């Protein structure tokens, strides 16, 4: 659904490393790639991923809306930390990203239970 | 509004948890009631409440308060069901028991002494809160931090969504024919021979009886009808986090997980008058204490912090007072409007207009402060 | 950590304010969440490749000068810094690199710009539905364009600009669906004479429309009853135009109904705001030097009222002059001359605004969404639920928030606040000024507990005695 413009040869003019550096990451275990300078959200969208999370209220699928850190729809889990705005996080090599499902995972496994009365 | 006066059996001043619970209890008795409330922005202790329905540790120094609190907690399950049936709203009341976690031996000892005092005062009726050691706590609540040395547990403790409770009370009140007047801040109250007249920003209201449930506002209003209500503000701050997967069923005194999965963190006490701003240093202390109890929450994010003003009496116990000079005017004040909501609706409200009010609730009369003063 | 002037936001207003103040010798700290200067309008302006910069147009390129001047000014720059709290004593609490600290300032310029007006429509929460601004960010900062033609729907100059930029990038929209009602241009025509004072602007607009026509981009006008269709993601947009129902398929639908000031910081500070009927939003109340009702807090840029990038830079400079004037560092003839020049340019740049505001006022559909439409996206509260809460006595957005949870999600009311105010006002038969807005509390964005726990505050300073009687303006929970 997104394609990249072919203009990476201009990198030298702006002082950036040229050509564009490919960055590898995973999303729900799937290997994907992005480019140096991508936000995680842009890299996911450019890889064809539209659904980033499910709403904790209804389970409805949600994806990025504003891409400027206002809407909080692009929340994903990155390297075990939940509810991070993908549009505000620069893509880094080896990131393990997961769909944000419902609440943030605090304790894997059994929660505190009440004493049987 | 036209020059007309709205006239009812009872005028309740205040649409917070206290006013709404009493108002609901009154319409439940078949009385005609108007509940007066302020607008969208007001002090509203009810919007700042933590949501505990808490019995343990209450009443140290006045055992009648421990009994009164316990009676409310006993009524709560049926009360929650009644509200659900009336308006189809689950207020999220759960009673899995509650914990006071202690982070030092000194704190544990202080809690232990208090429990012993309460136990002694309870006498034969017993007092069911008990001390637990670290091992027993781990069986109840996984994930406790290393500083937690022990705690107190009571099977009578629980929690609820204070905001859903307020909404349910308002809806149940309306469903039974109660009249709600919002943006009607009471400016003055006066007796008019056969009842009471209340002047508000949005018109005049008359009732045979008058119940002041206006929190801090009860002090100036009460003075107009012979009620001495020495309440003052005590600020508390609360933090609430984003939703987490369920990790905690039992409410604790400083950390509880709501039905939605968010985690509420408290509390603090600041004597700063009418300031409700959130102070980062206090927010930080609350966060530190929460992490001492539950280090697993480190990466959980705080979404909102707020400050609200508790309505504090000099000894922290409620004021329930019928005016001697103006019989039929009542003041109802407490800082535990959630815990006591059931008792306010089901036990206190029926006493309004009943000769038994002063007798039944004598322990909570504000005359106890005169007695203290003269003894002092 | 201390400074003379703290500036929040590195868009044109913030850059201009910081630069002017630093040039006058003040110790300035500029805080911005993004890793590079430019805000949203000049996003990635320092790093954008030349070819991409060319297709974005000359207005965008002007941002590079602002950024360069800022870099050279000696102002302190804190990129990647999230300001999560400010109080009236101008202690600024911020998070940078996973650590929270406090900066004590003597004055503050709030330059946090604008955000898109909420556009509650059926299906607007489906993946694949974005704002027009989001597609612009993908283009500017990442060189990404839709591969199969996005649908652009709504109204406003940004919509046309985006359509033009995408077309020039070789990714023309599948359709532009404009919601300006029929007859609106006639109504707005009284502002035309004033707008002719900014001839370049109007000519630019006409050029863009012609270019779209040449590229064969369908332009549907006066569209109503928009519905975004799809089950798991956006699949199509249907709407009524020209007397019949249309359905256009696309997996990408970009919405836009203009931008509005970002109120989070000014509301947090409890600045006074007023409702603007012409801009259909709340504006902070400001004096001629852009100082708010809170001492030494200035607001510059779109946050002071929507005016665009050029106006933002002018206002930023004026706000800096206001700060210098407050400090007694600049006065008399020099001040008046510099300020006068800026004010004249501001008037000229603003000449087109009344026409744009009248022409592109938000559509009736987003101002009064149908009952089943989600208004609070985070907590999934519908317009109908809000109306019902009002019928039960809810006097305003804060009571509605406590009854319905609308505004309690992670976006903290940014996406729903204005819509909730409009819906409550309509249901109560009141004006938005009376209904007002959500109470905003810290942290301005969600903050990890561990960071809050290890926060370093500046030492407490003796302040004023706390108020011991309720103030008349009734602070609240």
Q: Is the pLDDT of residue C125 over 70?
A: yes
Q: Is A13 on the interface with B (CB under 8 A)?
A: no
Return the closest-CA partner of residue A14 out of C74, C80, C12, C52. Answer: C52
Please tell me which of the candidates C142, C145, C411 has its beta carbon nearest to residue A70. C411
Measure the CA–CA gap between C77 and B117, rounded to whole angstroms. Answer: 59
Q: How far apart are CA C56 and CA C136, in angstroms?
A: 9
Q: Is the pLDDT of residue C194 over 70?
A: yes
Residue B304, CA distances (Å) to B263, B283, B301 in order: 11, 10, 9
Instruction: Give dist(CA A2, CA C147) in Å, integer.
Output: 5
Q: What is the pLDDT of residues C269-305, one digit of tens each?
A: 999 999 999 999 999 999 999 999 999 999 999 999 9
CB-CB neighbors (< 8 A) of A69 in chain C: 33, 445
How far apart are alpha carbons B169 and C319 in whole angstroms?
49
Nearest Cα of chain C lies from the Cα of A108 at a distance, in angstroms, of 19
Q: Is C265 exposed, middle or buried (0-12, 13-18, 19+ CB in 10 A)?
A: buried
H/E stretch holding A85:
strand A81-85
C-alpha dist (Å) from residue B143 to A107, B98, B273, B296: 8, 16, 38, 7
Distance from CA of B48 to the nearest CA of C (A): 6
Beta bridge partners of B92: none
Whether residue C389 contacts residue C404, with contact meaning beta carbons closer than 8 Å, is answered with yes
- Is A111's pLDDT higher than 80? no
Helix (H) or strand (E) segment spanning residue C297: strand C297-299
Residue A15 token pair: 């002082």
Residue numbers in C near B170 (CB within 8 A): 392-393
- Which of A81, A106, A113 shows the shortest C-beta gap to B245? A106
Q: How confident is the model at residue C196 (pLDDT cuts 50, 70, 90)?
A: confident
The residues, ordered by sequence, that sit 6+ positions from C117 with a Cβ below 8 Å of its Cβ are C257, C258, C259, C260, C280, C281, C362, C366, C418
- C131-159: b (≥16 Cβ within 10 Å) or e: bbbbbbbbbbbbbbbbeebbbbbbbbbbb
CB contact under 8 A, B245 and A114: no
Residue of C nearest to B270 (CA): C466
Chain A contact for C138, CB < 8 A?
yes
Tokens 């919405």 correspond to: C255
B260 to chain C: which residues are within 8 Å by CB? 405
Judged against a pLDDT cut of 60, whether residue C477 lies above it is answered with no
Which chain A residues have a beta carbon less than 8 Å from that of B245?
A: 102-107, 111
- Please give the C-alpha separations between residue C385 and each of B20, B85, C369, C373, in angstroms, as whole numbers: 22, 20, 12, 10
Give chain C positions within 8 Å (CB) of A46: 142, 144
Distance separating alpha carbons of residues B194 and B10, to the nearest angstrom: 12
Mean pLDDT, chain C, integer: 92
CB contact under 8 A, C134 and A13: no
CB contact under 8 A, B247 and A56: no
Cβ-contact C62, C309 below 8 angstroms: yes
With an 8 Å Cβ cutoff, the interface of chain A facing chain C consists of 1-5, 7-11, 13-16, 35, 37-39, 42, 45-46, 50-52, 55, 57-58, 60-73, 75, 83, 88, 90
Provide the b/e sequence for A1-22 (b: ≥16 CB within 10 Å): bbebbebbebbeeeebeeebee
In this complex, is the C-beta atom of C459 within 8 Å of any C-beta atom belonging to chain B?
no
Contacts of B155 in chain A (CB under 8 A): 115, 117
Percentages of chain B per state (helix, strand, coil), in multiples of 5: 35, 25, 40
Helix extents (H) in chain B: 17-28, 63-87, 105-122, 134-140, 162-175, 218-223, 280-293, 341-343, 356-360, 367-375
Residue B328 has pLDDT above 50, yes or no: yes
Residues of chain B above pLDDT 70, percent: 98
Q: How far apart are CA C307 and CA C11, in angstroms?
A: 13
DSSP percent split of chain A into helix, strand, coil, nearest 5: 15, 30, 55
With contact defined as 3+ CB pairs under 8 Å, the chains touching A are: B, C
Rounded-to-integer distance, Cα C367 and Cα C119, Å? 8
Rounded Cα gap, residues C470 and C265, in angstroms: 24
pLDDT in tens, B176-223: 999 999 999 999 999 998 899 999 989 999 999 999 999 999 999 999
List of residues 6+ apart from B371 with CB closer than 8 A: none
| C52 vs C404 pLDDT, higher one | C404
C89 neighbourhood in chain B, CB within 8 Å: none
The angle subtended at Cα C444 by Cα C366 and Cα B308, nearest 5°, is 100
More confident residue, B12 or B123: B12
pLDDT at residue C461, as a whole number: 36
Burial string for C194-204 (b: 16+ CB within 10 Å, else e) reads ebeebeebeeb
Q: Are strands C28-31 and C2-8 parallel, antiparallel or unpaired?
A: parallel
Q: Is there a contact between A90 and C40 if contact means CB atoms under 8 Å apart?
A: no
Q: What is the DSSP letter of B347?
A: I
Provide the shortest C-alpha distance from residue A27 to chain C (in Å).
17
Residues 6+ apart with CB under 8 A from B164: B89, B90, B91, B92
| pLDDT level of residue B272 (50, 70, 90 thresholds) | confident
Judge whether B369 is closer than 8 Å to chain A, CB to CB: no
Q: Which chains touch C (3 or more CB pairs under 8 A)?
A: A, B
| Residue C154 backbone phi and psi in degrees, to 5 | 140, -145
- Asked if the model's pLDDT at residue C460 lies above 50, the reply is no
Q: What is the DSSP string of C190-240?
A: GGHHHHTTSHHHHHHHHHHHHHHHHTT--EE-S-EEEEEE-SSS--EEEEE
CB contact under 8 A, A112 and B245: no
CA separation for the pair C298, B207 (Å, rounded): 50
Residue B140 near chain A (CB below 8 Å): yes
What's phi and psi for C191, nearest 5 deg?
-90, -5
Quick check: helix, strand or coil at residue C242?
Answer: coil
Residue B105 CB-density burial (10 A; 0-12 exposed, 13-18 middle, 19+ buried): exposed
State the pLDDT at residue B137. Answer: 96
Chains that touch B (3 or more CB pairs under 8 A): A, C
Inter-axis angle of helices C157-168 and C132-142, nearest 10: 40
**Interface check B295 vs A, CB under 8 A:** no
SS3 category, C434: helix
Q: pLDDT band at A117, cuts 50/70/90?
A: very low
Q: CA A41: distance to chain centroid?
A: 5
pLDDT at B375: 57
Q: Is the pLDDT of residue A112 over 80?
A: no
CA–CA separation, C137 and C143 (whole Å): 9
Q: How far is C273 from chain A (nearest CA, A)?
A: 21
What mean pLDDT do residues B7-36 have?
97
Inter-chain touch A2–C115, beta carbons under 8 Å: no
Question: Is C346 in CB contact (< 8 Å) with chain A?
Answer: no
Check if C449 contacts A (Cβ < 8 Å). no
Q: In this complex, do C411 and A72 lie within 8 Å of one another by their Cβ atoms?
A: yes
**What mean pLDDT, rounded, does chain B reach?**
93
Q: Which pLDDT does position B95 carry in this prediction?
A: 97
DSSP β-bridge partners for residue B6? B205
What pLDDT band is residue B79 in, cutting at 50, 70 and 90? very high
Encode pLDDT of B99-129 as tens digits: 999 999 999 999 999 999 999 998 888 889 9
Select from C26, C10, C16 the least CA-distant residue to C78: C10
User: Around Cβ C330, how many Cβ atoms within 10 Å?
Assistant: 18
Q: Which residue of B has its CA nearest to C463?
A: B272
Task: Collect all residues of chain C within an 8 Å Cβ-Cβ radius of residue B275.
Answer: 466-467, 475
Cβ(C321)–Cβ(C340) below 8 Å:
no
Q: What is the pLDDT of residues C154-165, one digit of tens each?
A: 999 899 999 999
DSSP string covering C116-168, please? EPP---TTTTSTTEEEHHHHHHHHHHH-EEESS-PEEEEESHHHHHHHHHHHH
- In chain B, the residue whose alpha carbon lies closest to the alpha carbon of A113 is B249
Q: Give the chain B residue whose CA is nearest to the CA of A115.
A: B140
Distance from CA of A3 to the nearest CA of C (A): 5
Does any CB of chain A come closer than 8 Å to the CB of residue C252?
A: yes
Q: Is the pLDDT of residue C463 over 70?
A: no
Phi and psi angles of residue C145, each rounded to the nearest 5 degrees, phi first: -130, 155
Which tokens belong to A52? Answer: 């980033």
Q: Do A112 and B249 touch (CB under 8 A)?
A: yes
Q: Which one is predicted more confidently, A112 or C181?
A: C181
Write the CA distances from B162 to B275, C382, C439, integer angstroms.
22, 22, 18
Within 8 A of C477 by CB-CB distance, chain B residues are: 43-48, 276, 306-309
In this prediction, residues A77-102 reach a mean pLDDT of 96
Q: Do A50 and C127 touch (CB under 8 A)?
A: yes
Token code pair at residue B38: 């302020």
CB nearest to B274's CB, from C398, C439, C475: C475
The DSSP call for residue B94 is B
* Chain A residues touching C154 at Cβ < 8 A: none
Between C206 and C398, name the one with better pLDDT.
C398
Nearest CA distance, A63 vs chain B (angstrom): 18
C85 CB-near residues (< 8 Å, 6+ apart): B278, B280, C91, C92, C93, C268, C442, C443, C444
Residue B31: C-alpha distances to residues B13, B127, B206, B229 (Å): 16, 37, 14, 26
Chain A residues whose CB is inside 8 A of the C146 CB are: 1-3
Residues C24-41 have pLDDT tens digits of: 999 999 999 999 999 999
Tell me whether residues B301 and A56 touch, CB distance under 8 A.
no
Q: Are the Cβ atoms of B303 and C436 closer than 8 angstroms?
A: no
Angle at which helices C157-168 and C199-214 cross, to 10°: 50
pLDDT band at residue C468 using 50, 70 and 90 as cut-offs: very low
Tokens at C452, concatenated: 């809050």
Does the beta-carbon distance from C410 to B303 stay under 8 Å?
A: yes
CA dist C266 and C290 (Å) reads 13
pLDDT digits (tens, 9 = 90+) for A35-69: 999 999 999 999 999 999 999 999 999 999 999 99
- Give mean pLDDT, residues C251-264: 97
What is the Cβ-side half-sphere exposure of residue C230, based on CA atoms within 13 angstroms?
23
Question: Is there a contact between A112 and B248 if contact means CB atoms under 8 Å apart?
Answer: yes
Token output for B123: 């006498």
């Amino acid at each position: 659904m997104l394609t990249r413009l072919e203009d990476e040869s201009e990198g030298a003019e702006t002082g950036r490393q040229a050509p564009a550096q490919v960055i590898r990451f995973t999303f729900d275990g799937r290997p994907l790639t992005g480019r140096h300078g991508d936000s995680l959200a842009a890299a996911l969208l450019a890889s064809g991923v539209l659904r980033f999370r499910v709403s904790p209220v209804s389970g409805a699928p949600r994806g990025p809306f504003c891409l400027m850190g206002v809407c909080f729809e692009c929340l994903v889990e990155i390297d075990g930390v939940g509810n991070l705005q993908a549009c505000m996080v620069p893509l880094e090599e080896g990131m393990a990203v997961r769909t944000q499902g419902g609440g943030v995972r605090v304790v894997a496994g059994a929660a505190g239970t009440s004493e049987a009365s | 509004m036209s020059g007309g006066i709205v006239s009812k059996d009872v005028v309740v001043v205040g649409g917070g948890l206290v006013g709404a619970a009493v108002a609901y209890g009154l319409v439940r008795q078949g009385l005609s009631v108007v509940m007066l409330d302020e607008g969208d922005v007001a002090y509203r202790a009810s919007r700042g409440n933590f949501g505990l329905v808490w019995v343990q540790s209450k009443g140290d120094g006045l055992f009648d308060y421990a009994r009164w609190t316990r009676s409310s907690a006993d009524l709560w399950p049926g009360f929650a069901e009644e509200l659900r049936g009336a308006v189809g709203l689950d207020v999220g009341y759960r009673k899995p028991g509650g914990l006071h976690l202690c982070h030092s031996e000194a704190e544990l000892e202080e809690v232990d002494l208090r429990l012993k005092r309460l136990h002694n005062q309870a006498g034969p009726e017993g007092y069911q809160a008990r001390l637990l050691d670290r091992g027993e706590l781990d069986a109840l609540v996984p994930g406790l931090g290393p500083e937690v040395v022990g705690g107190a547990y009571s099977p009578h403790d629980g929690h609820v969504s204070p905001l859903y409770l307020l909404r349910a009370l308002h809806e149940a009140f309306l469903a039974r024919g109660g009249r709600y007047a919002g943006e009607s801040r009471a400016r003055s109250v006066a007796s008019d021979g056969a009842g009471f007249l209340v002047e508000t920003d949005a018109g005049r209201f008359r009732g045979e009886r008058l119940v002041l449930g206006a929190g801090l506002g009860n002090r100036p209003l009460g003075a107009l009808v012979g009620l001495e209500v020495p309440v003052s503000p005590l600020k508390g701050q609360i933090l609430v986090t984003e939703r987490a997967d369920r990790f905690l069923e039992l409410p604790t005194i400083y950390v509880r997980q709501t039905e939605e999965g968010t985690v509420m963190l408290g509390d603090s006490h600041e004597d700063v008058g009418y300031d409700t701003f959130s102070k980062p240093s206090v927010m930080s202390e609350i966060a530190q204490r929460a992490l001492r109890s539950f280090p697993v929450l480190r990466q959980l994010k705080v979404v909102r912090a707020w400050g609200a003003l508790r309505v504090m009496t000099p000894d922290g116990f409620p004021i329930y007072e019928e005016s001697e000079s103006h019989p039929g005017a009542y003041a109802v004040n407490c800082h535990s409007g959630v815990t006591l909501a059931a008792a306010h609706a089901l036990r206190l409200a029926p006493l309004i207009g009943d000769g038994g009010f002063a007798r039944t609730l004598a322990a909570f009369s504000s005359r106890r402060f005169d007695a203290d003063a003269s003894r002092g | 950590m201390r400074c003379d002037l703290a500036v929040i936001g590195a868009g044109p207003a913030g850059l201009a304010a910081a630069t002017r103040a630093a040039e006058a010798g003040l110790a300035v700290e500029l805080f911005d969440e993004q890793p590079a200067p430019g805000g949203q309008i000049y996003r990635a302006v320092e790093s954008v490749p030349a070819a991409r910069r060319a297709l974005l147009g000359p207005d965008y390129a002007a941002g590079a000068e602002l950024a360069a001047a800022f870099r050279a000014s000696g102002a302190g720059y804190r990129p990647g810094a999230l300001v999560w709290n400010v109080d009236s004593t101008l202690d600024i609490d911020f998070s940078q690199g996973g650590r929270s600290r406090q900066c004590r300032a003597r004055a503050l310029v709030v330059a946090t710009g604008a955000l898109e007006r909420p556009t509650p429509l059926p299906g607007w929460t489906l993946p694949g539905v974005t704002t027009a601004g989001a597609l612009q960010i993908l283009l500017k900062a990442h060189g990404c364009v839709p591969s199969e033609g996005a649908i652009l729907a709504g109204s406003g100059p940004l919509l046309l600009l985006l359509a033009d930029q995408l077309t020039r990038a070789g990714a023309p929209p599948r359709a532009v669906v404009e919601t300006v009602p029929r007859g609106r241009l006639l109504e707005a025509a009284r502002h035309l004479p004033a707008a002719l004072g900014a001839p370049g602007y109007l000519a630019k607009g006409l050029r863009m429309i012609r270019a779209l026509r040449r590229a064969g981009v369908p332009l549907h006008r006066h569209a109503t009853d928009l519905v975004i269709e799809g089950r798991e993601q956006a699949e199509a947009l249907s709407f009524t135009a020209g007397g019949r129902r249309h359905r256009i398929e696309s997996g990408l639908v970009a919405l836009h109904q203009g931008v509005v000031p970002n109120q989070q910081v000014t509301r947090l500070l409890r600045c006074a705001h007023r409702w603007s009927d012409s801009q259909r939003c709340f504006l902070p109340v400001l004096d001629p030097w852009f100082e708010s009702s809170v001492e030494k807090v200035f607001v510059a840029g779109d946050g002071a009222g929507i005016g665009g990038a050029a106006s933002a830079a002018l206002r930023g400079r004026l706000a800096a002059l206001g700060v210098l004037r407050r400090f007694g560092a600049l006065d008399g003839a020099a001040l008046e001359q510099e300020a006068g020049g800026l004010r004249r340019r501001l008037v000229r740049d603003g000449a087109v605004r009344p026409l744009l505001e009248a022409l592109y006022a938000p559509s009736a559909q987003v101002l009064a969404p149908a009952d089943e439409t989600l208004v609070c996206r985070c907590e999934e509260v519908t317009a109908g639920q809000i109306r019902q809460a009002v019928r039960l006595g809810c006097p305003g957005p804060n009571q509605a928030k406590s009854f319905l949870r609308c505004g309690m999600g992670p976006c903290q009311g940014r996406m729903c606040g204005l819509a909730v105010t409009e819906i409550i006002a309509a249901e109560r038969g009141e004006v938005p000024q009376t209904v007002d807005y959500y109470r905003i509390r810290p942290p301005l964005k969600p903050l990890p507990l561990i960071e809050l726990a290890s926060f370093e505050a500046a030492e407490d300073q003796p302040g004023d005695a706390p108020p011991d009687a309720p103030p008349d303006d009734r602070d609240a929970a």
